[in-house]
Amino acid sequence: MNIAILALQGAFIEHAHMLSQLSVSSFFLRKKEDVERPFDGLILPGGESTSQGKLLRELGLLEPLKQSILEGTPVFGTCAGLLLLAKKIENDERTHLATMNICARRNAYGRQLGSFFTEETGKGLGKLPMTFIRAPYISNVSGETQILAQCQGRIVAAREKNQLVTAFHPELTKDLTVHRYFLSMIRERLRNKESSAIPIFLPSH
């Protein structure tokens, strides 16, 4: 299993550290040619979504990544990554990959003085440590999106088929639960791929 981590700006090294603790290899996506390498899953890290969104477009990564997600590649976005995936952002006209049926609110808890740490129970995930840094939240979900966790009455983690998002940063804690959950999504897809592959019979001579 090999996972691509978007490394345009932000806390991407932290995700690579989490994956190496789970003995999973990863590589960084910085330009168009990097997307041509095969990968089984994609991580969109925290950082500034405006900065990452602009670089996604200008370095030619937006379309190939969007295509890959639409084809079913499992993707996990944290904080800014959540904003890149959201189909709608209520306080920003710009959307980016816009592949997930969620509406998000940017800087929903205010400036840095509004950043906080807490613990909440996620659906099927147990108790999760949650670090929110100038974080967004999900104001509503639609389509097949399932809510995975809430905090102070706001949606902070969700999944729609191959897309997983958290408004908080598991990669800033020691807790590997959410990354493990993401890996299980990838394994599920790899299994489905295998079972749906058409067997090839070589003609016998």
| Residues recognised as catalytic | 79, 169, 171
Number of residues that bind other proteins (CB under 8 A): 36
Q: CA–CA separation, 82 vs 166, rounded Å?
A: 7
CA distance 185 to 68: 15
Bridge partners of 154?
A: 151
List, in order, residues 6 or more apart from 150 with CB less than 8 Å away: 120, 156
Report if residue 120 touches other proteins, rule: CB under 8 A. Answer: no
- Pair of tokens at residue 162: 């191959």
Contact with other proteins (CB under 8 A): which of 2, 27, 59, 147? 59
Which pairing describes strands 75-78 and 163-166: parallel, antiparallel, or unpaired? parallel
From residue 121 to residue 150, the character string flagging contacts with other proteins as x (rule: CB under 8 A) and all else as - is: ----------x-xx----------------
Min dist CB 14 to other proteins, Å, is: 7
Shortest reach from residue 185's CB to other proteins, in Å: 25
**If DSSP codes are grouped into helix, strand and coil, which group holds residue 178?**
helix
Q: Which residues are at the interface with other proteins (CB under 8 A)?
A: 7-14, 30-31, 46-48, 50-51, 54-55, 58-59, 79-80, 92, 106-107, 110-113, 115-117, 131, 133-134, 169, 172
